[in-house]
Amino acid sequence: MNRFYTILFLFVLTICPSFGFGTKDTMNKVMDSWVGTNINTAIDYLGYPTSEKIIADKRLFYWEKDVVSLTINETGVYGGKYFCTRIFEVDKNKNIISWEWKGNSCPITYMTSKKWVHPNKDPWKKEKELKKQEKILKKARKETKKGKL
């Protein structure tokens, strides 16, 4: 049984970070992907916001997701509220200029946040493209050293 836990620990330590685990980092990338985008584009992609507010001359759009969970078993009743709130601030031209998010039920991985990231500004796709370009450059350098180019 100890071997199982050792393997599980190594898996979590080595594999999981490559999937981008971590709510804060994931959600920051998701929210950053929308900066500079017109709010109407965000609405087209994300659906209608749950509310729009003007606070201190700032125009804010809210997307809120709330879920209440209740579990009953032989040891008792357990429950909690799970939520994720995304807030975009827009300028006079309706372009997103800043954001805020909060919650305990926001996506923690790229796989779970795909539906919330801007389709044309996906930060994970950019990272993959950069890695591909790095491989191509590395291969070209090796071939240049060998005199093949």
Residue 89 one-letter amino acid: E
pLDDT at residue 15, as a whole number: 42
**Residue 21 scores a pLDDT above 70:** no
- Say what the pTM is: 0.65
Report the SS3 class of residue 71.
strand
pLDDT at residue 54, as a whole number: 97
pLDDT digits (tens, 9 = 90+) for 90-128: 999 999 999 999 998 888 776 777 788 888 888 877 666
pLDDT at residue 9, as a whole number: 47
**Residue 48 scores a pLDDT above 60:** yes
Instruction: Spell out a b/e string for 75-114, using b for 16 or more CB atoms within 10 Å of the CB, else e.
Output: eeeeeeeeebbbbbbbeeeebbeebebebebbbbebeebe
Helix, strand, coil proportions of the chain in percent (round to 5)?
40, 30, 30
Domain spans of the chain, in order of start: 21-118, 120-149
